[in-house]
Each structure stands twice: as C-alpha cells, then as structure tokens.
Amino acid sequence: MSASAAIATTDKTLDIESIRAQFPILKTKIHGKPLIYFDNAATTQKPRSVIDAVRRYYESENANIHRGVHTLSQEATAAYEEVRKKIARFIHAADEREIIFTRGTTESINLVAASYGSKFKPGDEIILSAVEHHSNIVPWQLLAERTGAKIRVIPMNDRGELAMEEFPRLLSDRTRIVAVAHLSNSLGTINPVRKIIELAHARGAVVLIDGAQWIAHGPLDVVQLDADFYAFSGHKIYGPTGIGVLYGKAALLDAMPPYQGGGDMINSVTFEKTTYAALPHKFEAGTPNIAGGIGLGAAIDFVAGIGLENIAAHETQLLQHASRLLSEIPGVRIIGTAREKAGVISFVVDDPPMAALDVGLRLDAEGIAVRTGHHCCQPVMDRLKIPATARASFAVYNTKEEVDLLASALRRIVSAEVARAPQQPAPATSPFASPDAAANEMIETFEFLEDWEQRYELLTDLGEKLPPMPEALKTEANRVHGCQSIVYLHAAKRPGTADTIDFLAYSNAIIVRGLVALLLRVYSGQSAKAILAFDDRAFIEKLGLDKNTTMFRRTGLDGMVKRIRAEAARLAG
Ligand SMILES: Cc1ncc(COP(=O)(O)O)c(C=O)c1O
C-alpha cells in the first residue's frame, strides 16, 4: 500500500487524495513508515508540475535571458517575464514592474535594507516586532550599525500576539520603516498588518511585510493592503529554492539606488558613468535563477488552481484539530495561542520535561517530520523563556489522519518518557589511561553497531547515565551556546594533580547528553596536555559524526569540543 493510500482523507471541500498524488515525495518511507511531512514552514514539497517545469526548462528551453536574439533566448525571456506577470496578478500588484525577482525573502529584505535604508541618518528609527524571524532582524541591525539608526520593537504578550496598544507610542517622526511578519513562523500568529500599515502611514513611515509564511496560507492583495514592500520565497509556496520576490511600490523602487551592480541592470556603462535600467531590471543584476522562476510560475498555477481560500480553510481545520488533540495530551503545552493563527502549531513537553530535540528525533523515528529548535526566532524563545519548541506546520497535502498520527505518536513518546526508569549514573571520570584509549573503544563500539538507529540508542543510554551536574554549576559562564538544546560544561583541576581535569556537563536533551557523555568518557580525568594533544577531528570523523551533519552542527558538538579544549588550555596554565 502506498503511503498516500495508507493516509486516507476526510476533507469535504478539497480532493486531498488527488492533490497528494501530485507530490512524488509523499510516497517516501522514513524508517519504514509513510512520511508525514509537517515541516512546511521550513519548506514545502513540490508538485509534479513544478518538478516537470524545471526539468523541461533544462531539457529543452535553457538559454540566458534578456540578452540573446536567438530563438531559445527569446523564448526563455518570454517564459521568465510571463512568470513576473503571473506573480503580479497573483498578489494583485498594480504593475508587473513592481515585481523584483530575488533569491528569497531574506534577499528581498536585505535589498530593501541596503537600498531604501541607504539614506537613513543617525537617530532614524526602524520598528520591528517581537515575533520576527532573524531574516527580518539582522539586515536591519546591519543597517543600524552602518547608519546610526535605532531599532525599536513592538512587544508581544504571552499568547504570541503583538501588543498593538504599544505600537502608536513607538511610532514617531523619526520612524523611517516598519518591518513585520504577516504570519509568524514560530508561533503561527497572524499579525494585524493592515492596522500596522494604516498607523505607520499616518506617521509618514513606509512598511515592509515579511510574507515568507503568509504567501502559501492565505490570499494576498498588496494594493488593498497598501503594503509598500512585500517579501516572499518561492520554496515556501510549492516552488523551487533560490527564487523569491520583492514587491515594492513603483514610486519607491524608482527612487531607490541599485542594490547590486552587474550585467542586466544597466542602461549604459562607460568608465566615467553608468546609467541604470528601468524597473524591475535595475534590481536584478546578473543572470537570475531562470529555472527557479519558471518553476515558481508552475507553483503559482498549482496554488491558483486550488484557490488560496480553499487551502486556508483546509489548513484551518487541520490547525484546529491539532490544537484540540495536542492540548489533550497531559504534559504537552502549545506555544502560541493567538486568537488569529494559521498553518503552524508549536509545542513543548513540560511534564516530564523533554527537550524539543528529543521529541523531534522520536517523531522522526515514526516517520513524522517536524522542526525543532528556535526556528530562527531566538527573541521569541527568550521572551517566552523556553529554549526551543517542536513545530508542526501544515500544507494543503496534509490530512486530519496525519494529525491523528502525530498526536498518537506524541502521546506514546510522552508515556514512554514517564515510564523510563532512572538509571544509575556512571562514574564521572574516564576509566581509560588516555583519551586515545577511550576513543578507540568508542570507535570500535560504533563500528560494531549496524546503523544510526542503534548508535542513537547507545548515545541515549550513555546520556541517561551521565553523572548529574549540581544546579549551582548551571551558570551562564558554564553555558555552551550554539546548541539547539541547553548545554552546560564545567571544568576543574583535580586537587593535588599537576593538570588532571575533571569535567561535569549537562544537557536538557537526552541525545545531546549522550554526546556529552561520549566526550567526557574521552576527556574527563585526563591531563590537560593529553586533552590538547588529542586529535578530536579524527575521532569525530571515525565515529562518522561529521557525516551526520545535522547531528554534528545542530547539537553543538563542535562547540562542546572547542569549549573542552579551551578549558584544558586555560587550566593547563
Ligand atoms: C517569517 C519568515 N521570514 C523569513 C524567512 C526566510 O526565508 P528564506 O530563508 O526563504 O529567505 C522565513 C523562513 O523560514 C520565515 O519563516
């Protein structure tokens, strides 16, 4: 039975089964189970029509655009420019010249910050909101550093709604731009963007809307909204990666300096003076992602064929169903309970406390793909005093039955955690004569285990036996940053020794505790000299952890090794 057949649908308005049949990847099995893909806020899967459009382009239509008189170039140019028109119609822009192709939302925002922001003066103000993605924070911080402008932030309440009563007080005659997300990727909050635009315009400020998430979840009319700039990415709306859009009002774009220089954005070039092309080409230097554009056109056709209102209605049902089921699981807490929400449900397991990373890995073992971490929204996590959430985000091909499976898997995961017997901690000190001896034993054990599932099990086992770290040592100074979970590491020279170092460490994620335990087995109780002489790169490579890059990077293993070496160097004197 195919995965899509196994997941029957109950939706009345859309024929979800025939929609699912258009997505080849949905037939994939993960760990032998049908894939349930709930990581749509990170990127959506692609329908056959998009995959075919990109393939067809490379197979029979490929040529550079805007510069050849030969037939293929003219046809490629016409196809690419047709997509621009299609996007203008799709978002109801007044003029196709207002559609600038970019690499995605991030580049669209950077373009506005670099170009529109180039005239900002010291003391000018940029207003952001508390729910922003890093993509809508960092470009403005870079601009503020360059120009002396100041950033002000619309706060949010515990539900994840913007404190709109604060907004008028933040606006001033110095406000140059307000940049806010239409739909929050971490909490699912729909922000009151129409109101924000109205109030900002009344104070003479322009508004950029980060539509990375909204674009696939609800209809958009940029003229009715009166947005000055609107940014989105193709890959979040069933299109390819590496292509996105900046919508901007023509009068604003016309007055802005170019963002990047190069071919295709000029009118004439001499060594003395260059004049620039008219919109939209002024902002499109160099050969663009032509295939991506063609694919995005097919994606827009796909979405328009179903209707964003229908997609929104279907996803609202999924969200309501998920909210009900998840809120009924003891120990699970939904993060983000705004009255206006779409597409996204974030949650944490409080009782027993489980790291989002562990929840994500266990759901993955069931074939369920959710995102874990801070979702590029660290200020949101800090505001809510949580390190991370697990997040399920929906697309048109998801079904109520998939949500049922998520809820039942989560229920099982939480129950298993409740039932987990406490383990006797292992001794804190490595029983080995040298880091190499410990490493060799670990490498042999890893080699003996057949697959990553067994290795994860071993790591989990090691993590459960990690000696406890006293609460008093869980300080900011001992915190190892750069990890998806919370990690502390403490080092102390053993009294009466020249440079023997004992380490204690903790992580709230079992899998990371396992990695920490593995490291302490190698390093703890060894001399600083031996620690510094140990070839950690070769060790990690031999374990195969460098190949499992998610494991390596996202867990901060790299950062932990660096910290251990830094502590050894410090204590060695
Ligand atoms: C709200 C929001 N803004 C911006 C981005 C950045 O999008 P991209 O990585 O496609 O540029 C994302 C991606 O997750 C997002 O969710």
Q: Is residue 7 situated within a structural domain? A: yes
Do 159 and 253 lie in one domain? The reply is: yes
Residues 155 and 257 in one domain: yes
CA distance 178 to 125: 9
Task: Verify whether ligand 1 is closer than 6 Å to residue 43 (CB atom).
Answer: no
Give yes or no for residue 135 CB within 6 A of ligand 1. yes
User: Do residues 235 and 102 make contact, with C-beta atoms less than 8 angstroms apart?
Assistant: no
Residue 423 lies in a domain: no
CATH at 112: 3.40.640.10
Could you tell me if 33 and 69 lie in one domain? no
Atom of ligand 1 nearest to the CA of 107: 11
Q: What is the CATH number of the domain that holds 387?
A: 3.90.1150.10
pLDDT value, residue 149: 98
Same domain flag for 78 and 178: yes
| Contact indicator for 231, 105 with CB cutoff of 8 Å | yes
Asked whether residue 455 falls in the same domain as residue 508, the answer is: yes
Whether 297 and 344 share a structural domain: no
In terms of domains, do 153 and 124 share one? yes
Q: Report whether residue 509 contacts ligand 1, using a CB cutoff of 6 Å.
A: no
On whether residue 96 sits in a domain, the answer given is: yes
251 and 325: one domain?
no
Last residue of a domain, one of 360, 389, 416: 416
Q: Are residues 347 and 451 in the same domain?
A: no
> pLDDT at position 111, please?
98
C-alpha distance from residue 361 to each of 36, 301, 303, 367, 539 (Å)? 14, 35, 31, 10, 24
DSSP single-letter state for residue 102: E
| Pick from 501, 504, 527: nearest CA to 436 | 527
How is residue 141 written in tokens?
A: 């911080």
**Other beta carbons within 10 Å of 546:** 16
Which is the closest atom of ligand 1 to the Cα of 233? 10
> How many distinct structural domains can be found in the chain?
3
> What distance in Å separates the CA atoms of residue 350 and residue 410, rounded to the nearest whole number?
13
Of 389, 416, 443, which one is at a domain's C-terminal end? 416
Of 39, 103, 108, 133, the residue with max ligand 1 atoms within 8 A of its CB, to mutate for a pocket test, comes to: 133
Asked which of 305, 325, 347 is the last residue of a domain, the reply is: 305
* Domain that includes residue 85, residue range: 50-305
CA distance 457 to 365: 12
- Judge whether 198 lies within some domain: yes
pLDDT at 551: 59
255 in a structural domain: yes
426 inside domain:
no
- With 0-12 / 13-18 / 19 or more C-beta atoms within 10 angstroms meaning exposed / middle / buried, residue 82 is middle
**H/E run at residue 492:** strand 487-493
Query: Per-residue pLDDT for the chain (573 aa), expressed as one digit of tens each?
Result: 333 333 334 444 799 999 999 999 999 999 999 999 999 999 999 999 999 999 999 999 999 998 888 999 999 999 999 999 999 999 999 999 999 999 999 999 999 999 999 999 999 999 999 999 999 999 999 999 999 999 999 999 999 999 999 999 999 999 999 999 999 999 999 999 999 999 999 999 999 999 999 999 999 999 999 999 999 999 999 999 999 999 999 999 999 999 999 988 889 999 999 999 899 999 999 999 999 999 999 999 999 999 999 999 999 999 999 999 999 999 999 999 999 999 999 999 999 999 999 999 999 999 999 999 888 999 999 999 998 999 999 999 999 999 999 999 999 999 999 998 677 776 666 778 999 999 999 999 988 987 777 888 888 888 888 888 999 999 999 999 877 788 999 999 999 999 999 999 999 988 889 989 999 999 999 999 999 999 998 998 888 877 665 655 566 788 889 999 999 999 986
Distance 287 CA to ligand 1 centre (A): 23
Could you tell me the end-to-end alpha-carbon distance of the chain, in angstroms, rounded to an integer? 64
Residues 313 and 299 in one domain: no
212 CA to centre of ligand 1 in angstroms: 5
Residues 343 and 471 in one domain: no
Q: Is the CB of 105 under 6 A from ligand 1?
A: yes
Same domain membership, residue 449 and residue 384: no
For residue 444, the domain's CATH number is: 3.90.1010.10
Which atom of ligand 1 has the smallest separation from the CA of 106?
Answer: 11
Model-wide pTM > 0.95: no
Q: Establish whether residue 108 lines the binding site of ligand 1, counting it when its CB lies within 6 angstroms of any ligand atom.
A: no
pLDDT of residue 550: 62
Would you please indicate which residues are annotated as catalytic (active-site) residues? 376
Give the pLDDT confidence score for residue 5 in this predicted structure: 38
In a domain, 77, yes or no: yes
